[in-house]
Structure 1
Amino acid sequence: MIYLYGVLAACLLGLGFVLQQHAAREAPLKDMLSFRLLLDLMKVPLWLAGIGCMVVGQIFSVLALSHGDLSRVEPLLATNLLFAMVLARWLSGERLGWSGWAGVLLLSGGVAAFIVAGSPHSGPAHTGTLRHWLVFGGVLAIALLLVLTARHVRLVEEPPLLAAAAGVLYGLQDALTRVSSSLAEDHGLGRMLLSWEPYLIVVLAVTGLLLVQSAFEAGPLRMSLPALTAAEPLAGIACGIGFLGDRIRVTPGALTGELLGLAAVVTGVFLLGRHPAMPTGSHKDPAESTGSHRDPDESTPESD
């Protein structure tokens, strides 16, 4: 059931991302990184359909996380790019070609290699308070650093940074979702609602959504989705091992297989994201957008 829920979640997430980007690319750039962007997009039926797919996909991911280890589920969720590729290919009419098939094989094979080599499984939930908060704070710091860096580069370079920041937050959200599920199973729904984790999940989800839509708005899907897809499982696995007690094999052979599997996943993600079938969008020139925050080739003084 873990694999069934994980694949269903990936399918719906990939479909949702493509629909959201098709809608977000038409939004005015002046709303970038502003909650006005979400309010404007809520009036677009295509975007709402994409959000609906994403919500249902998140429900399936919660089911997968409630039945399995984070380090096993996260690589499965990374396959959402395969399903995004199928829809994007249908919309664009492009053939997969050698690079597309190479991306498919690397992504799916990398997921399988990591799971087989690492054999992820649950361990003791108590990993130490200091370690818990160091990993937790480190993940948040990485996301913040990515956003701050994005605001000091050219507009055309922002989408992958914003998408990666969203992916990091989504990985942390997945970890907290597993914590909340465990609280509900062990102590009941009332105990879960009295803890802070469910409320932080909502904050992370909304913040991540804003970052993703801003990335979709600022550039084509191929610039943002690979970074989003690669960052989420890496952050999730780090949280799972860092403070949830997940365990993987650490023999030399297993570590080699795990590293090769993760490298294949990341390489496959970027090959598919750069494939011609992934929509480039027809985003208007930011210079023509009233109130856009800056020209795509303009850098702030700090970046010069």
Structure 2
Amino acid sequence: MYLAVALGLVAGFLFAASASLQQHVARRTATATNTVGELAGKSILRPLVALIRRLVRHPIWLAGWFTNLLGFVVQAAALHEGSVALVQPLLVTQLLFAMPLSTAWARRWPVFVEWLGVVLISGGVATFVLVREVAPAAGEANRGRVVLAGLCAAVLVALLVWAAAGRPQLLHATLVSVGAGLCFAMSAVLMKLTTDDLLHRGVLATALDWPGYCLAVSTLTGLVLEQGAFATGSLSAAVAAMTITNPLASYLLGVLAFRVKPPSSPGALAALAGSGALLIVGVAALSRSPTVRKPDAEGETRRDSEPLEPTQRYGGQVAEPSSTPDLG
């Protein structure tokens, strides 16, 4: 169990470093090419694909992508050592690591709300890990339930993306981020199945089994939606929605789709509720930090009032969308 916890914390750090690099590039690229307005319009998939095509040519974004890939490898090792319900909630600690990274980029000391978020998340993680019976340590997958959960998640993600089209930026980022969080939660379940296949049945059996292919689809979809949420500029909403959705959905999947014993004693249930409350409030606090809120400042009035149109004003000039942007 403790090895799974340690690996989960390392994965959280790698994901935080990756998000710091990728969000920085995604937001600048979307702003420079006016993709923000396109992403908030009625068509989402085409501008998302165009944005990804621009990002893959940026070395800093690629560095973030490789860091993210390494995080997935460490996460897979953690899931092999422990259950989905144990490992995935630990990934909320990526905000703990993102806080010093973001303040270092901004060259300032953390403020009170950031320290508050750190304390709350740390307390929530400690309660989750240390109180007996709260986090199931292991469990065998029920593949029928996994398939059912995957179909439900796919339908829900599609509905969220459809509902986000044409919405104000804040609501758009929140809905898309919830969809990304669901994809990453489902990816954790599929990653555990794929890792177990690879270690116990060999490469050929893994290649012939369906979880690996579903894992690729779920992870790719989550990454694309994540970049779209980052690029809209509503970073605080994106961070909070994605970071809360992933562990909550993962815990439910880890209990329902695997043959594990959920917490049943009053003490364990109280600890689980308290841990969840601390994590949610801590995530909300860190997502409201000045560094996270900074990218939202320019478009806050517009975002809270109405959807963006494909033409936006930058520095008093009207910028038309360009199909062949120059990244400089």
TM range (shorter): 0.7 to 0.9
Q: Does 1:183 align with 2:185?
A: no
TM-score, scaled to structure 1 = 0.88
Per the alignment, do residues 98 and 254 of structure 1 end up closer, same or farther by CA in structure 2, a change over 3 Å counting?
same
Counterpart Cα distance in 2 of 1:206 and 1:122? 27
Pairs within 5 Å for 1:56-205 = 56-117=70-131, 118-126=134-142, 129=144, 131-205=145-219
Asked whether the 8 Å contact 2:169–2:234 carries over to 1, the reply is no
Judge which range, 272-281 or 173-182, deviates more: 272-281
In the TM superposition, residue 185 of structure 1 has moved relative to its aligned partner by 2.3
Identify the residue that residue 301 of structure 1 maps to in structure 2. none
Pairs within 5 Å for 1:10-49 = 10-26=12-28, 27=30, 28=33, 29=35, 30=38, 33=45, 34-49=48-63
Judge which range, 67-76 or 281-290, deviates more: 281-290
Counterpart Cα distance in 1 of 2:278 and 2:159? 26
Asked whether the 8 Å contact 2:89–2:250 carries over to 1, the reply is no
In the TM superposition, residue 255 of structure 1 has moved relative to its aligned partner by 0.8
In the TM superposition, residue 6 of structure 1 has moved relative to its aligned partner by 1.2
Asked whether the 8 Å contact 2:100–2:110 carries over to 1, the reply is no
Q: Does 1:3 align with 2:33?
A: no
Write the letter of the residue equivalent to 1:149.
Answer: A
Counterpart Cα distance in 1 of 2:279 and 2:184? 18
Per the alignment, do residues 119 and 284 of structure 1 end up closer, same or farther by CA in structure 2, a change over 3 Å counting?
closer
Give the percent of matched residue pairs that are identical in Structure 1 and Structure 2.
30
Write the letter of the residue equivalent to 2:321.
Answer: G
Counterpart Cα distance in 1 of 2:107 and 2:234? 17
Counterpart Cα distance in 1 of 2:14 and 2:141? 30
Q: Does 1:248 align with 2:262?
A: yes
Structure 2: any 5+ residue segments left out of the alignment? 300-310, 314-318, 323-328
Query: What does the per-residue CA deviation read over 1:88-126, in whole Å, with 9 as the maximum and x for residues that have no partner?
Result: 111123433332121111112112212333041224534
Counterpart Cα distance in 1 of 2:156 and 2:275? 23
Write the letter of the residue equivalent to 2:26.
Answer: A
Write the letter of the residue equivalent to 1:291.
Answer: P
Counterpart Cα distance in 1 of 2:285 and 2:155? 28
Write the letter of the residue equivalent to 1:9.
Answer: A
In the TM superposition, residue 145 of structure 1 has moved relative to its aligned partner by 2.5
Asked whether the 8 Å contact 1:92–1:279 carries over to 2, the reply is no
* Aligned-residue CA RMSD (Å): 2.1
In the TM superposition, residue 207 of structure 1 has moved relative to its aligned partner by 1.1
Per the alignment, do residues 60 and 265 of structure 1 end up closer, same or farther by CA in structure 2, a change over 3 Å counting?
same
Identify the residue that residue 312 of structure 2 maps to in structure 1. 287
Write the letter of the residue equivalent to 2:114.
Answer: G
Identify the residue that residue 240 of structure 2 maps to in structure 1. 226
Write the letter of the residue equivalent to 2:240.
Answer: P
In the TM superposition, residue 55 of structure 1 has moved relative to its aligned partner by 1.0
Counterpart Cα distance in 1 of 2:135 and 2:63? 36
In the TM superposition, residue 151 of structure 1 has moved relative to its aligned partner by 1.2
User: Number of aligned pairs?
Assistant: 290
Per the alignment, do residues 106 and 278 of structure 1 end up closer, same or farther by CA in structure 2, a change over 3 Å counting?
same
Asked whether the 8 Å contact 1:70–1:246 carries over to 2, the reply is no
Counterpart Cα distance in 2 of 1:42 and 1:228? 22
Secondary structure of the residue that 2:152 maps to in structure 1?
Answer: helix
Per the alignment, do residues 280 and 207 of structure 1 end up closer, same or farther by CA in structure 2, a change over 3 Å counting?
same
In the TM superposition, residue 265 of structure 1 has moved relative to its aligned partner by 0.8
Identify the residue that residue 308 of structure 2 maps to in structure 1. none
Query: What does the per-residue CA deviation read over 1:45-67, in whole Å, with 9 as the maximum and x for residues that have no partner?
Result: 22111112111111111111111
Question: Runs of at least 4 residues of structure 1 off by over 6 A?
Answer: 282-285
Secondary structure of the residue that 1:78 maps to in structure 2?
Answer: helix
In the TM superposition, residue 83 of structure 1 has moved relative to its aligned partner by 1.0
Secondary structure of the residue that 1:291 maps to in structure 2?
Answer: coil
Identify the residue that residue 259 of structure 1 maps to in structure 2. 273
In the TM superposition, residue 152 of structure 1 has moved relative to its aligned partner by 4.2
Write the letter of the residue equivalent to 1:245.
Answer: R
Asked whether the 8 Å contact 1:64–1:73 carries over to 2, the reply is yes
Counterpart Cα distance in 2 of 1:160 and 1:92? 24
Asked whether the 8 Å contact 1:18–1:221 carries over to 2, the reply is no
Structure 1: any 5+ residue segments left out of the alignment? 293-304
